[in-house]
């Protein structure tokens, strides 16, 4: 602690653990005095960060597709969202999130004292190429993957099953906001393996681990956006309960972040809406038209629509926003469905049902007319 600062500036909270930690993890010299020799670091990098000796491993699928969105579009349309539909995501989507989030995407080779070394590099950067963040996916609704708690093994691109079961209620025991969990398809729990990074960086390791988690989190945010999935970072949880759920001690390894992911609800959030009976697309033979009194304001991944004369408004997200943007008075419903199928990965039958419900709802609320 730099005592002089206490006299020159407003007194900081002397006993603030955060202030104390920050002061004590400052670099005081440009000469790096790590805890390991270069050779030691290489040996350390070669080790798997964490490996569970469980017999059930679920292989992940190397993503076989590339989305067509521009990099810029993905960044500007990234938003936090929840209010999931409850629809499962596919095993390939789960694999995509983990691969582009934190998968092994390359190797680095080094020659040191007559020996060649190669160690894996990942989609997210990590201080010292020491990947000290672990991801534990809690699978709730993923087609072809049994619900349960898993550990992501990046080097082998597989999941290790730690415990089977639907853990939605256990998650509710430690997450502050249930809406992050309701109907989500998967929750990623991130932990920091502190001694792993401390070996090289000592007290500074904790800072680096949190930064590493941020990079992974953003990769996952962008990957989910590319797949048109809803995604939310979640920092509000009871640490000790979460650590107990994960079976970790909370000292050497502790939960440091979480993310919830799932399919979007068509039509966005509108708490006044009640479930309506399912209708069939064939009912709508006429081309729906936007009511002449409707105003709308497109946002990056949503559109706000309102009727000033009626005093009603609605925010439409995801595929609902896409549907809205395609209603031009010329396209019939088949043409709208075809345009969406080109852009979104959705089963034609599901889309037909969603589109039909969407049009019903918009007509009922007098945003659309078929007259």
Ligand X SMILES: Cc1cc2nc3c(=O)[nH]c(=O)nc-3n(C[C@H](O)[C@H](O)[C@H](O)COP(=O)(O)O)c2cc1C
Q: Calculate the alpha carbon distances from 47 to 118, 126, 132 in Å.
A: 11, 15, 11
> Min. distance of Cβ 249 from ligand X in angstroms?
23
Binding mask 167-196 for ligand X (x = CB under 6 A): ----------x-------------------
Name the residue nearer to ligand X (CB basis): 37 or 80.
Answer: 80
Name the residue nearer to ligand X (CB basis): 224 or 294.
Answer: 224
Binding mask 243-282 for ligand X (x = CB under 6 A): --------------x-------------------------
Name the residue nearer to ligand X (CB basis): 79 or 172.
Answer: 79
> Min. distance of Cβ 68 from ligand X in angstroms?
23
Name the residue nearer to ligand X (CB basis): 16 or 300.
Answer: 300
Out of 59, 86, 125, 236, the residue judged to bind ligand X by CB under 6 A: 236
Here the contacts of 361-368 (C-beta below 8 Å, separation 24 or greater) are 361/267, 361/273, 361/276, 362/288, 363/288, 364/276, 365/312, 365/314, 366/291, 366/307, 366/310, 366/312, 367/290, 367/291, 367/294, 367/305, 367/307, 367/314, 368/288, 368/289, 368/290, 368/291, 368/327
Cβ neighbors of 249 (< 8 A, separation 6 or more) are 243
Of 328, 115, 103, 73, the closest CA to residue 216 belongs to: 103
Q: Give percent helix, percent strand, percent coil of the chain, each to the nearest 5.
A: 35, 25, 40
> Min. distance of Cβ 315 from ligand X in angstroms?
13
Stretch of residues binding ligand X (CB under 6 A), selected from 126-134, 230-238, 343-351, 362-370 = 230-238
> Min. distance of Cβ 175 from ligand X in angstroms?
8
> Min. distance of Cβ 145 from ligand X in angstroms?
25
Out of 80, 107, 143, 370, the residue judged to bind ligand X by CB under 6 A: 80
Out of 79, 156, 204, 307, the residue judged to bind ligand X by CB under 6 A: 79
Of 127, 130, 162, 125, the closest CA to residue 146 belongs to: 162
Stretch of residues binding ligand X (CB under 6 A), selected from 14-22, 231-239, 271-279, 360-368 = 231-239
Longest dimension (CA), the chain: 81
Out of 235, 277, 311, 329, the residue judged to bind ligand X by CB under 6 A: 235
> Taking a C-beta distance cutoff of 8 angstroms, is the pair 186, 168 a contact?
no
Out of 192, 233, 262, 267, the residue judged to bind ligand X by CB under 6 A: 233
Interaxial angle between packed helices 91-102 and 205-226, expressed in degrees from 0 to 180 and rounded to the nearest 10: 140
Q: Calculate the alpha carbon distances from 160 to 50, 250, 326, 355, 366 in Å.
A: 11, 21, 43, 38, 51
Name the residue nearer to ligand X (CB basis): 100 or 190.
Answer: 190
Strands 229-233, 158-164: pairing is: unpaired
Stretch of residues binding ligand X (CB under 6 A), selected from 46-54, 161-169, 192-200, 226-234 = 226-234
Name the residue nearer to ligand X (CB basis): 81 or 267.
Answer: 81
Q: What is the DSSP letter of 264?
A: B
Position 234 contacts ligand X (CB under 6 A): yes
Stretch of residues binding ligand X (CB under 6 A), selected from 129-137, 142-150, 229-237, 282-290 = 229-237
Cβ neighbors of 105 (< 8 A, separation 6 or more) are 99, 121, 122, 123
Task: Give me the residue whose beta carbon is nearest to ligand X.
Answer: 233
Name the residue nearer to ligand X (CB basis): 257 or 263.
Answer: 257
118's enclosing H/E stretch is strand 115-122
Site for ligand X (CB under 6 A): how many residues?
10
Position 231 contacts ligand X (CB under 6 A): no
Name the residue nearer to ligand X (CB basis): 42 or 230.
Answer: 230
Rounded CA-CA distance 362/354 in Å is: 12
> Taking a C-beta distance cutoff of 8 angstroms, is the pair 208, 125 a contact?
no
Position 105 contacts ligand X (CB under 6 A): no
Residues that bind ligand X (CB under 6 A): 79-80, 177, 217, 232-236, 257
């Amino acid at each position: 602690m730099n005592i002089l600062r206490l006299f020159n500036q407003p007194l900081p909270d002397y006993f603030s653990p955060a202030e104390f930690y920050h002061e004590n993890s400052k670099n005081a010299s440009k000469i790096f005095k790590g805890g390991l020799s270069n050779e030691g670091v290489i040996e350390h990098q070669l080790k798997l960060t964490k490996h569970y000796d469980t017999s059930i491993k679920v292989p992940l699928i190397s993503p076989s597709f590339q989305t067509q969105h521009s990099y810029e579009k993905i960044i500007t349309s990234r938003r936090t969202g929840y209010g999931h539909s409850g629809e499962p995501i596919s095993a390939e989507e789960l694999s995509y999130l983990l691969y582009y989030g934190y998968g092994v995407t390359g190797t680095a080779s080094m020659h040191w004292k007559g020996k060649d070394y190669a160690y894996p590099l990942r989609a997210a950067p990590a201080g010292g190429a020491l990947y000290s963040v672990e991801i534990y996916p809690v699978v709730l609704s993923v087609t072809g993957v049994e619900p349960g708690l898993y550990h992501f093994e990046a080097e082998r691109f597989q999941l290790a099953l730690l415990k089977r079961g639907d853990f939605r209620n256990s998650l509710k025991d430690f997450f502050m906001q249930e809406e992050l969990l309701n109907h989500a398809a998967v929750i990623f729990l991130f932990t920091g393996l502190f001694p792993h990074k401390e070996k090289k960086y000592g007290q500074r390791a904790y800072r680096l681990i949190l930064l590493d988690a941020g990079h992974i989190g953003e990769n996952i945010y962008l990957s989910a956006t590319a797949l048109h999935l809803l995604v939310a970072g979640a920092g509000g949880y009871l640490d000790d309960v979460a650590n107990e759920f994960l079976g970790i001690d909370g000292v050497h390894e502790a939960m440091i972040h979480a993310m919830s992911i799932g399919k979007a609800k068509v039509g966005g959030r509108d708490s006044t809406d009640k479930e309506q009976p399912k209708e069939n697309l064939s009912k709508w033979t006429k081309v729906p038209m936007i009511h002449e009194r409707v105003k709308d304001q497109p946002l990056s991944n949503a559109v706000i629509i309102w009727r000033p004369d009626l005093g009603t408004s609605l925010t439409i997200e995801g595929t609902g926003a896409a549907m809205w943007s395609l209603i031009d008075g010329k396209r019939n419903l088949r043409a709208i469905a075809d345009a969406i199928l080109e852009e979104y990965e959705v089963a034609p039958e599901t889309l037909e049902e969603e589109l039909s419900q969407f049009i019903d709802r918009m007509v009922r609320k007098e945003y659309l007319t078929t007259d």
